[in-house]
Amino acid sequence: MNKEVITIKIGSNALLGESGKNFDTDIITHLLDDIYKWRKQYHIVLVSSGAVAAGRIVLQKTADTLDRSTLAAVGQMHLIDMYYRLCVERDIVPSQILISREHLTVRENYAHIRHTFQELLHHDIFPIVNENDAVALQGGGFGDNDALAVYAAILSRSDRLIFLTNLDGLYTADPRVDANAEFLERVDNIDQEITAMCSASRSSFGTGGMLSKLRSAKMATTAGIDVHIINGLKTENLSQLLSGEKVGTWFPRIGEDSLSDKKLWLLLGSTSNGQIIVDDGAKEALKQRKSLLAVGIKKVRGKFVQKDFVNILDMQGDTIALGIVDYDSEILSEALKQKKDKESIRRRLPREVVHSDNITLLK
């Protein structure tokens, strides 16, 4: 596969356009025209939301009495039917991949989905991806398709991930209420300052939207993928970006070192809410790709058992790494509570808590 791979994510807001009620056929037709045009140069993967919204469009009033899974089960048909017709008109062979969160926690499944993407792209088949909402438990899935888009980008070995949203990109504040809001063309470091800007404007322009895109951008750039957030309601934007023009906000990929397959899977497989908070010494050791030892742990939050995924946080509350833990949370908490001096902790928990082979650092 020598063409660059690009994952494009379109959210329900962009699909519904200004009306917010029905699919905006202009926007969608334009998107498919662009995909048709750019497929000559790139392999393109589309992550499309809209199943729940389509369920509402099909079922009208009845929709108010139904849950998201039921709406998505109805709406996914409508959504994919629309894409199918548009693809056939353009001589594109489409395919549908519905991913469930838990599939990715099993390494064999992860490898299998990766293989499916490779096969499809190798045969010039156009993958259209969504979450398998009909079977996902409420609260147990990806949450929103921003995270799913990162997964799809990693699974398809994409070089770039483009979010089509209803905003021009990232601002220092909500541009609709703050005249001093500055537009950010490029963000190299998704740190607390940037994240705080989005949380501060949460009620209007955030509502999870930009915040979840920042989280996703952090994961994707760590995995070596360039991320762009552009306004999908301006139909000329995608082509301009792909032609090399500056459009929206760009989050350049971090470093050149590519993560091993296992470390990428670690990034994707993590579904745990378990948290291990580490001190500055342990943070430094992790950066130098060392294992996490019990003496560097300040606190343990949530329940987990040996071999579960855990989030590793620094004392400022930033997630710095993901890993597979070798002790149960109860054993760790108990040991930390009872033994305050480092020597006795070391004696009680002699093995690595998370081995360096099982850690992916978030940069």
The residues of the shown chain that bind ligand GLU, judged by CB under 6 A, are: 11-12, 49-53, 72, 130-131, 133, 144-145
Q: Closer CB to ligand GLU, residue 128 or residue 292?
A: 128
In the complex, minimum distance from the CB of residue 75 to ligand GLU, in angstroms, rounded to a whole number: 7
**Closer residue to ligand GLU, CB minimum distance, 23 or 327:** 23
Hey, what are 41's tokens?
């140069």
**Closest approach of Cβ 20 to ligand GLU, in Å?**
14
Q: Which tokens go with 51?
A: 């199943």
**How far, in Å, CA of 301 to CA of 282, rounded?**
17
Comparison of 145 and 166: residue with beta carbon closer to ligand GLU: 145
d(CA 206, CA 217): 15
Smallest separation (angstroms) from ligand GLU to the CB of 191: 26
Q: How far is the CB of 195 from ligand GLU (least distance, A)?
A: 20
Task: Give whichever of 203 and 243 is closer to ligand GLU, judged by the CB atom.
Answer: 203
Q: Which is nearer to ligand GLU, 214 or 335 (CB)?
A: 214
Q: What are phi and psi of 131, to 5 degrees?
A: -75, 150
Identify which of residues 11 and 269 has a Cβ nearer to ligand GLU in the complex. Answer: 11
Q: Least distance (Å) from ligand GLU to the CB of residue 71?
A: 8
Residue 234 token pair: 């301006």
**Among residues 82, 80, 60, 87, which one has the least CA distance to residue 71?**
60
CB of 83 to ligand GLU, least distance (A): 12
